[in-house]
Chains A and B, each alone.
Chain A
Amino acid sequence: MAAQDLSVFVRHRDGGVASMELAVDGIRCAGCMQAIEGGLAREPAILGARVNLALKRVSVEWREALLRPEAVVEKLAALGFKAYPFAPERQEDGAAAEERHLLRALGVAGFASMNIMLLSVAVWSGNSGDIDPTTRDFFHWLSALIALPTAAYAGRPFFESALRALKAGAVNMDVPITIGVVLALMMSVAETWNHGRHAYFDGVVMLLFFLLIGRYLDQLMRRRTRDLAGNLAALKAETATRLAADGSATVMPIAAIAPGDLVLVRPGERICVDGIVETGRSELDQSLVTGETAPVVIGQGERVHAGTLNLTGALTVRVEAAGQGTLLDEIDRLMDQAVGNRSRYVRLSDRAARLYAPVVHTLAASTFLGWLAWGLPWPEALMIAVTVLIITCPCALGLAIPAVQVVAASSLFKRKTMLKEGDALERLAEADIAVFDKTGTLTLPEPDILNPEALPAERRAEIGALAAASGHPLAQALARALGAPPSAGNVHEERGQGLSVGEGDDERRLGSVAFCGAQAEAAMVAALHPGASLIAYRHGSFRTVLALGQALRPQARETIAALRRAGLQVAILSGDRFEAVAPIAAELGVTELHAGLMPGGKLALLDQMAADGHKVLMVGDGLNDAPALAGAHVSLSPVSATHLAQAAADIVFLGESLAPVADALTIARKARRLMLQNLAFAVLYNAVAVPIAIAGLATPLVAAVAMSGSSLVVTLNALRARAAREVRT
């Protein structure tokens, strides 16, 4: 076995200290945390280890001269944890800085709103009593002293966003917020200057506080999703065997492979780079890329793609792209087209904002003009108009959707499903037709034994060992399914027939049905599993025939049934031959199936469905599905999918089972219902509060109560969803 090289993940600090981040599989509890930290701390060369339980990561620091990074992974393995190093992404830093800025702004706004409220409560109670006007002015000036710098600092996210929108010639939710905040502050200062009774410093700062909570939740969810996606990539732990110029082989993480490197791919390995074959001939299982299950012969000078499985011969491949993957030009063109389709979707919150902004501006303006016409002096009319702006400010709207998204996303995560886009929930809830890819999506990506009852447990090891000795694709698949190491025995291989070991009565044979003389058994098995490949085994008088094929994912049937119950149509779009798709479709009871589709054909069919008014939910995993995944209304992909498919999907689910598809739909529908409830509540709140404000009856006290009350109701409504869901699990 070639040496491992993890140096690409190590970060070097001053004083000979090295550090590395690792995603660790199986950290569940405090015990694991203690075991890892304590276990690593006993190693003298390791300076410190810190587990992040929320992210399931460990960061380790050690003295560079004393330890190699591989040793850290081994130490963790000795403690019972599989660890996968990964390089934190650069792009993440920008988002992390933005999140920190939001949290800081939230802290400042929280501090300011509490302190101003302290002053305001005194003024409110004083206003109904006999407060000394000088004291009131003093309190108002103090409030201004806190509110003005706070608004300048904590309001920046909104001001900047509003400016960006205005520059682009659009109006978003932040425009009325900014106008409201700025006008209210100006009016309050003027009011204080003129020794007035009411100032809205408390309202402004509280508004910023609540809005920042919503903004922060939104950001938090996006970061969490990104972190988990990072873990996921690390857990895949893709490595490649790089050949150096001197012929020595090193196993490298895929992140360390650069274009131009020469990579060795052994039979049975999945190719994880895109490149050109330099030497060797082999057969490839390209099912993840094209959906076609029959092996394809490949030789020197031909192009191979990441995600394909090398079956028979060793290949050396000159790398063109690693990790991200290059694309077939065709797929590239289709992706561009597909992404164009998708961008037509407008988020629920944006739709609300589009309606909201003009309505509020018109209301405020007509209030101002109306009171002027009524004969009120302009400062007072303006004050009332500003109250309308403040009262209608979308605290509840700003919280309504992010709060639900955060709750729903964490609920999904508990079901091993990861949301990649916040608005995917809304889109998933709207889906009315579910389209599945076959290979790797409805079925498991690796061929499996379809009739395990034909395989006695005591014979697993000997059959596996025999199968592992062969280079035949079917035998290789069998060996992988049995998880057996190759045997050292004296195996004879007869080309095109099978393998045999031993002599006379003790002879064991594995191979074609004729080679083992198992025609009778084969006929029975073939009747039960049409379309499967048969492999026979004989030992003395014992004969058995195994059917190898792509087994359905666990709970595939239940999931399809659940989707039907939820009112979705179900269709299968496959790149595979019709004969391979039909039995699977029949087993699942799906009548609408399209086989032998090229990637463009899938996208065209999806477009056709969209044109018929359907909202398509696409589930797929292959490179050939990527354009369809990107073009569908909403898309899911299993974690075993190719990089590109996963990048194009909105939701990624872990594990072998297909059940998360139906679960995600249920959760998404519930989430959407709650979002709509929250929006409806926000509208109802405005319907009550706005007339009061227009009538000029809204005091700062009314504004404060209305704002905090509505925000609380909306947040509690979002949390209610989580409680109900956990009971059901």
Chain B
Amino acid sequence: MNIIVILFPLALGLGLLGLGAFFWCMRSGQYADLDGAAWRVLQDDDAPVRPRSGEGERA
């Protein structure tokens, strides 16, 4: 049963890590624009941007 003494702090630590990550997300404003983030992931940031290039591809 001694294994519990190690496992529970470990589980708690992981949980706290998640909580910390959540706070960090909040602080860096990642919940400010939930709609935009869904689209941003599809953007080719490394490709040269042409103005209004997304318009045609949208259909």
Where the two chains meet, the residues of A that have a C-beta atom closer than 8 Å to any C-beta of B are 29-35, 38-39, 41-42, 51-55, 79-80, 100, 103-104, 107-108, 111, 114-115, 118-119, 132, 135, 138, 142, 146
Query: Are the C-beta atoms of A52 and B39 separated by less than 8 Å?
Result: no
Query: Are the C-beta atoms of B31 and A31 separated by less than 8 Å?
Result: no
Please measure, in the bound complex, the distance between the C-alpha atom of A301 and the C-alpha atom of B13, giving whole angstroms.
Answer: 74
Query: Are the C-beta atoms of B23 and A104 separated by less than 8 Å?
Result: yes
Please measure, in the bound complex, the distance between the C-alpha atom of A103 and the C-alpha atom of B4, giving whole angstroms.
Answer: 32
Minimum CB–CB distance for A544 against chain B, Å: 41
Q: List the A residue with the shortest CB-CB distance to B56.
A: A31
Minimum CB–CB distance for A111 against chain B, Å: 4
Given contacts A52-B36, A115-B11, whether A31 and B19 have CB atoms under 8 Å apart is no
Query: Are the C-beta atoms of A35 and B55 separated by less than 8 Å?
Result: yes
Query: Are the C-beta atoms of A135 and B54 separated by less than 8 Å?
Result: no
Query: Are the C-beta atoms of A103 and B57 separated by less than 8 Å?
Result: no
Query: Are the C-beta atoms of B36 and A38 separated by less than 8 Å?
Result: no
Interface SS majority for chain B: helix
Minimum CB–CB distance for A351 against chain B, Å: 33
Query: Are the C-beta atoms of B54 and A114 separated by less than 8 Å?
Result: no
Q: List the B residue with the shortest CB-CB distance to A135.
A: B1
Query: Are the C-beta atoms of A35 and B39 separated by less than 8 Å?
Result: no
**Which of B1, B34, B49 sits near A54, CB closer than 8 Å?**
B34
User: What would be 29 A-B contacts, judged by CB atoms less than 8 Å apart?
Assistant: A29-B39, A30-B42, A31-B52, A31-B53, A31-B54, A31-B57, A33-B36, A33-B54, A34-B43, A34-B49, A35-B49, A35-B52, A35-B55, A39-B49, A53-B39, A54-B33, A54-B35, A80-B52, A103-B31, A104-B23, A104-B26, A107-B26, A111-B15, A111-B18, A111-B19, A115-B11, A118-B11, A135-B1, A138-B4
Query: Are the C-beta atoms of B34 and A29 separated by less than 8 Å?
Result: no
List, in ascending order, chain A residues with CB within 8 A of B35's CB.
53-54
List, in ascending order, chain A residues with CB within 8 A of B57's CB.
31
B6 within 8 A of A: no
Query: Are the C-beta atoms of A115 and B15 separated by less than 8 Å?
Result: yes
Minimum CB–CB distance for A232 against chain B, Å: 18
Query: Are the C-beta atoms of B51 and A38 separated by less than 8 Å?
Result: yes
Known contacts A35-B53, A111-B16; 8 further A-B pairs (Cβ under 8 A): A33-B36, A34-B53, A38-B51, A100-B26, A103-B26, A104-B23, A118-B11, A135-B1
Q: List the A residue with the shortest CB-CB distance to B12.
A: A115
List, in ascending order, chain A residues with CB within 8 A of B4's CB.
135, 138
Query: Are the C-beta atoms of A35 and B12 separated by less than 8 Å?
Result: no
Please measure, in the bound complex, the distance between the C-alpha atom of A42 and the C-alpha atom of B40, giving whole angstroms.
Answer: 18
List, in ascending order, chain B residues with CB within 8 A of A41's CB.
49
Q: List the B residue with the shortest CB-CB distance to A42.
A: B49
Please measure, in the bound complex, the distance between the C-alpha atom of A538 and the C-alpha atom of B32, giving whole angstroms.
Answer: 59
Query: Are the C-beta atoms of A31 and B26 separated by less than 8 Å?
Result: no
Query: Are the C-beta atoms of A35 and B51 separated by less than 8 Å?
Result: yes
**Which of B8, B22, B33, B39 sits near A142, CB closer than 8 Å?**
B8
Query: Are the C-beta atoms of A53 and B36 separated by less than 8 Å?
Result: yes
**Which of B23, B36, B55 sits near A107, CB closer than 8 Å?**
B23
List, in ascending order, chain B residues with CB within 8 A of A79's CB.
51-52
Q: List the B residue with the shortest CB-CB distance to A52.
A: B33
Query: Are the C-beta atoms of A30 and B39 separated by less than 8 Å?
Result: yes
Minimum CB–CB distance for A142 against chain B, Å: 6
Please measure, in the bound complex, the distance between the C-alpha atom of A54 and the C-alpha atom of B31, giving whole angstroms.
Answer: 10
Minimum CB–CB distance for B39 against chain A, Å: 3
**Which of A32, A53, A104 sits near B54, CB closer than 8 Å?**
A32
Please measure, in the bound complex, the distance between the C-alpha atom of A35 and the C-alpha atom of B23, giving whole angstroms.
Answer: 31
Given contacts A108-B19, A135-B1, whether A51 and B36 have CB atoms under 8 Å apart is yes
List, in ascending order, chain A residues with CB within 8 A of B26's CB.
100, 103-104, 107
Please measure, in the bound complex, the distance between the C-alpha atom of A29 and the C-alpha atom of B52, giving whole angstroms.
Answer: 11
Please measure, in the bound complex, the distance between the C-alpha atom of A51 and the C-alpha atom of B16, giving whole angstroms.
Answer: 32
Please measure, in the bound complex, the distance between the C-alpha atom of A80 and the C-alpha atom of B43, giving whole angstroms.
Answer: 20
Q: List the B residue with the shortest CB-CB distance to A115.
A: B15
Query: Are the C-beta atoms of B58 and A31 separated by less than 8 Å?
Result: yes
Within 8 A of A (CB), among B34-50: 34-36, 39-40, 42-43, 49-50
Q: List the A residue with the shortest CB-CB distance to B49.
A: A38
Please measure, in the bound complex, the distance between the C-alpha atom of A53 and the C-alpha atom of B42, giving whole angstroms.
Answer: 14
Q: List the B residue with the shortest CB-CB distance to A54.
A: B35
Query: Are the C-beta atoms of A30 and B16 separated by less than 8 Å?
Result: no
- List the 8 closest A-B pairs by CB distance, nearest first: A31-B54, A38-B49, A30-B39, A53-B36, A52-B33, A54-B35, A53-B35, A111-B19
Please measure, in the bound complex, the distance between the C-alpha atom of A142 and the C-alpha atom of B51, giving whole angstroms.
Answer: 57
Please measure, in the bound complex, the distance between the C-alpha atom of A278 and the C-alpha atom of B32, giving whole angstroms.
Answer: 47
Q: List the B residue with the shortest CB-CB distance to A134.
A: B1
Please measure, in the bound complex, the distance between the C-alpha atom of A31 and the C-alpha atom of B22, giving whole angstroms.
Answer: 29
Minimum CB–CB distance for A104 against chain B, Å: 7
Minimum CB–CB distance for B6 against chain A, Å: 13
List, in ascending order, chain B residues with CB within 8 A of A30's CB.
39-40, 42-43, 54, 58
List, in ascending order, chain A residues with CB within 8 A of B22's CB.
107, 111
List, in ascending order, chain A residues with CB within 8 A of B52's CB.
31, 35, 79-80
Q: List the A residue with the shortest CB-CB distance to B39.
A: A30
Q: List the A residue with the shortest CB-CB distance to B8.
A: A142
Please measure, in the bound complex, the distance between the C-alpha atom of A529 and the C-alpha atom of B4, giving whole angstroms.
Answer: 88
Minimum CB–CB distance for A29 against chain B, Å: 5
Please measure, in the bound complex, the distance between the C-alpha atom of A118 and the C-alpha atom of B10, giving whole angstroms.
Answer: 13
Please measure, in the bound complex, the distance between the C-alpha atom of A135 and the C-alpha atom of B58, giving whole angstroms.
Answer: 59
Q: List the B residue with the shortest CB-CB distance to A39.
A: B51
Minimum CB–CB distance for A250 against chain B, Å: 31
**Which of A54, A114, A135 sits near B36, CB closer than 8 Å?**
A54
Minimum CB–CB distance for A19 against chain B, Å: 14
Please measure, in the bound complex, the distance between the C-alpha atom of A380 and the C-alpha atom of B57, giving whole angstroms.
Answer: 68
Minimum CB–CB distance for A209 against chain B, Å: 13
Please measure, in the bound complex, the distance between the C-alpha atom of A539 and the C-alpha atom of B47, giving whole angstroms.
Answer: 59
